[in-house]
Amino acid sequence: MKLYKHGLNAALIRGLSIALVTTLGLPFSAFATLGGSLDSVQADQAHLKANIKTTEGGAYTVHELRTPTDIVVREYVSPGGRVFGIAWRGPFIPDMQQLLGSYFRQYVLAAKAERERHVGRAPLSIQQEGLVVQTGGHMRAYFGRAYDPELLPAGASPDDVR
Amino acid sequence: MRKVAILIPLTGLIFLVGCYWGRRAETTQPPVSIALTPSGTLVTGGQSITVTANVFDPSNQGATWTFSPLNFGALSNLTTTSVTYTAPLGFTKPTTVTITATSITNPLIASSVQISVSPIIVGLTPPAPQTVSQGGQAIFAVSVANYMTNPGVTWSLTPASGAGSLIDATPTVGATYVAPATVSAPVVVTLTATSIENAAATASLEITVLPSGGGPNVAIVNVDGGPVPGQTYANGAFTTVTICNPGSTTVCQTVDGILVDTGSYGLRILQSEIPFLKITPFVDGNGNTLENCASSPDGSYLWGPVAPFDIYVAGEVASSSLAQVITSSNIVVPDSCSNGGTTNQNTPQLLGANGILGIGPEPTDCTVAGVNYCDGSAQLTPPNLYYTCPSIGCATTDSSIVVADNMQVTNPVPSLLQVINNTSDNNGAILELPAVSGAQAAVTGTLIFGIGTETNNQLGSATVFTLDSSDNFTTVFNGQNLTSSFIDSGSNAIYFPGELPTCADNPQYYCPTSLTSLSAMNEGATQGENTVSFSVDNADNLFSSDASDAAFDTLAGPQGTYNSCSPGSSSSCTFDWGLPFFYGRSVYAAIDGQSISGAPTTPWWAY
């Protein structure tokens, strides 16, 4: 490690050392993806070493993951083993590409189109065939949810993804 | 310039060839070459420098002289071995002058030196636009950099009469502005200090005289559509800041179009708006710079280095305050910041602003409710906020790092001191906007620093709403208990889960068939309760009635899904009180860690 300017070297060096340890030991971003399989949720459990809570219901199963940075992600899995919805909240925005998977591009284009229509800062509300995304919040308190209406299993409603 | 660039390598080539020949046949004449001194010198306007040529020329004819840019200064005392260059007066940008000596014996041989010419710079302190109440005064100091003989200035006001006067005006110390005894509406006057040595060197700022409530802790805020021509930013509150190199009162840039955002923390300024400032980010011995990522829930982000500046706003300064400089070029950003495809809002057009002044209730951009998530104190996994990157840029795979709190992008408010007397107005801020009736082209309000620190920022009868561990409170609306609600001047509208229809043309907004009156109740986490009446109009009609309208009192849109919030829900539990909530109100944001006499423990909102 080399010294840093501004007389704050020790702090950053300590920080860098911690960062090195944690990034090797605890991969951060590994969620199941919307439309993905149950296997990806189970793989995440071991991967994240996160506090995981699984709630089985008649219509679907909810897997709740809490990351070390206090992001809570709920993954909704149909009886057929597919992730049909994801909800999150916490001080940071989770990796949307990880969460949305093959839906990520559709999300990016819709968000871009909305910002081009109205410059400014606003929550996001994407209502498209095959993808609903609602996000909002303020710095250090974000939330959102995404689901594919076409993947909702029998007995589940959009409001269940929460 | 191109000619010089070609000739210099030629000189080297001939010299090398000469050496070779010299070894073979010692009788060969030495080649012609020219060495100039001095090089890299810095001069100021009107100053002279003599350049000397050592011409290695068997026929001893010496050199002729040229310089560029054309007509920028003059050459005198020309001889075959020296010349005097005199920098011009009357320029305002630092300029590099190239002086070239060309061999008379062999005109293909030339040599150049570069001289840096600095303009006279006049600096006012405080340098940012000011407000003053009728009959009040504002004191300014002046400093002049790079002068030759006369460090003085003359003072002037525009308009020269009817908009106050100057007293105690001296050439080298400062002046005091005295406002008119009474004004019925805000009056704007421009104060200018002009260098006596060089009338092209000036410093000026706007002073707004208010009927009441002005002062060194008060900045003007305009809801005027924003700084980008041809683009209307709906419901954006913009102010002006002056950003200086740390410790300098002359190397400064005043930037308008800065969005006042109570929903974020820290100044974020577009690199393109501060081209004359020296950006000194945290850099390690390997040349890696500390970079900051600010993600938004709308699928965009801001990326750029953390650097200290003296941030002036109104008559206040936050010295060596850490800001994010949003990198203007489209460099590689780590995937964990960009998510591998979201948008970097790194132009005024994309951002709709020249920068964002985050003055919400937290001290840095990585803190909430006393927990700092980035410094390793609460947990060891760094969130996607800070990175170190080599000068060539980051790699997409780079990981975020842990960073101490005194290296994080900082809310400048807790650092604010009044320039004239070092009084602290640093425990929070108040954003006050006039009432808006439907839609208007522009309104002007004030951003007041400090709560209970001056006569113009008393809490008075405002209700305080304490916050939960996410800096939220509860809004009860239409039977919904919206437990993650907040006030955010950076939101374009009021956003909530409602039953109103969304618009056909603008589906992000509500379009009731007619103006609809609603009410909601805000409840603080531990105290504070108040019912708010508000109205929602048809946004398609609002936007289509007059394209120049920028202030909309009745603009609202959906946030989540109506009646879908239940205990433990992540979404649809938020009422986002955006900028329309500020119209006709004074809204107080008290910052975590600060204390306000006679008020609850911070953080809180009050109105």
Q: What's residue A8's pLDDT? A: 38
Q: Are residues A119 and B352, on separate chains, in Cβ contact within 8 Å?
A: yes
Q: What is the mean pLDDT of residues B166-184?
A: 98
Of A107, A120, A136, the CB nearest to B236: A120
Q: What's residue B147's pLDDT? A: 87
A49–B contact, CB cutoff 8 A:
no
CA distance B393 to B445: 41
The secondary element (H helix, E strand) that includes residue A16 is helix A9-25
* A68 close to B381: Cβ distance less than 8 angstroms: yes
CA distance B405 to B363: 10
Check whether B3 has a pLDDT greater than 80: no
Check whether B27 has a pLDDT greater than 80: no
Q: What's residue A48's pLDDT? A: 52
Q: Are residues A92 and B400, on separate chains, in Cβ contact within 8 Å?
A: no
**B174 dihedral zone (left: phi>0; alpha: psi -120 to 50; beta):** left
The answer to which of A118-122, B316-320, B350-354 has the lowest mean pLDDT is A118-122
Check whether A142 has a pLDDT greater than 50: yes
Listed as own residue / partner, the contacts of B438-441 with beta carbons closer than 8 Å and 24 or more positions apart are B438/B537, B438/B542, B438/B552, B438/B553, B438/B554, B439/B542, B439/B545, B439/B546, B439/B549, B439/B551, B439/B552, B439/B553, B439/B554, B440/B549, B440/B550, B440/B551, B441/B224, B441/B225, B441/B546, B441/B548, B441/B549, B441/B550, B441/B551
Q: Which residues does chain A have within 8 Å of residue B508's beta carbon, measured at their own beta carbons?
A: 114, 117-118, 122, 125
Residue B587: pLDDT band with limits 50, 70, 90: very high
Q: What's residue A55's pLDDT? A: 85
Among residues of chain B, what percentage have pLDDT more than 70? Answer: 95
Q: What's residue A50's pLDDT? A: 62
Q: Which residue has the higher pLDDT, B91 or B400?
A: B400
User: Could you tell me which residues come within 8 angstroms of residue B52 by beta carbon, excluding any fewer than 6 positions away?
Assistant: B36, B37, B81, B82
Our CA-based measurement puts residue A79 at a distance from the nearest CA of chain B, in whole angstroms, of 22
List pLDDT tens digits, range B242-260.
999 999 999 999 999 999 9
Give the tokens for residue B315.
Answer: 């008559």
Check whether B73 has a pLDDT greater than 80: yes
pTM of the model: 0.87
Peptide bond between residue B297 and the one before it cis (omega within 30 degrees of 0): no
Q: What's residue B397's pLDDT? A: 93
Q: What's residue B16's pLDDT? A: 36
Q: Which residue has the tokens 């061999």?
A: B103
Q: Which residue has the higher pLDDT, B39 or B276?
A: B276
Q: Which of residues 92-121 of A touch B (CB under 8 A)?
A: 92-93, 95-97, 104-105, 107-108, 111-112, 114-115, 117-121
Residue A46: pLDDT band with limits 50, 70, 90: low
Q: What is the mean pLDDT of chain B?
A: 92
Question: A63, A59, A58: which is closest to A32 by C-alpha?
Answer: A63
List pLDDT tens digits, range A10-38.
344 344 433 333 333 333 345 678 998 87
B401–A contact, CB cutoff 8 A:
yes
Residue A67: closest C-alpha in chain B = B381
CA distance B433 to B238: 11
B432–A contact, CB cutoff 8 A:
no
**Kind of pairing between the strands at B265-270 and B316-326:** parallel
Question: A108, A128, A89, A21: which is closest to B382 by C-alpha?
Answer: A21
Q: In Å, what is the CA distance from A93 to each residue of A80, A83, A136, B170, B585?
A: 29, 19, 10, 55, 31
Q: Which residues does chain A have within 8 Å of residue B300's beta carbon, measured at their own beta carbons?
A: 111, 115
Q: In Å, what is the CA distance from B607 to each residue of B484, B530, B590, B601?
A: 18, 9, 11, 16
Q: What's residue B60's pLDDT? A: 86
Q: What's residue B30's pLDDT? A: 56
* A37 close to A49: Cβ distance less than 8 angstroms: no
Check whether B10 has a pLDDT greater than 80: no
CA distance B192 to B203: 6
> Could you tell me the strand order of the sheet in which B33-37 lies?
B33-37, B48-56, B82-86, B74-76
Q: Which of residues 494-533 of B touch A (CB under 8 A)?
A: 495, 506-508
B352–A contact, CB cutoff 8 A:
yes
Q: What's residue A42's pLDDT? A: 65
* B495 close to B234: Cβ distance less than 8 angstroms: no
Q: Are residues A19 and B569, on separate chains, in Cβ contact within 8 Å?
A: no
Q: Which residues does chain A have within 8 Å of residue B352's beta carbon, measured at their own beta carbons?
A: 119-120
Question: B261, B263, B271: which is closest to B292 by C-alpha?
Answer: B271
List pLDDT tens digits, range B288-335.
999 999 999 898 999 999 999 999 999 999 999 999 999 999 999 999
- Residue A105 CB neighbour total at 10 angstroms: 12
Q: Are residues A108 and B299, on separate chains, in Cβ contact within 8 Å?
A: yes
Q: What's residue B40's pLDDT? A: 72
Residue A43: pLDDT band with limits 50, 70, 90: low
ipTM score for this prediction: 0.86
Q: Which residues of B10-25 are buried (b: 16+ CB within 10 A; e: fewer)?
A: ebeebeeebeeeeeee
Q: What is the mean pLDDT of residues B45-71?
A: 90
The secondary element (H helix, E strand) that includes residue A62 is strand A61-66
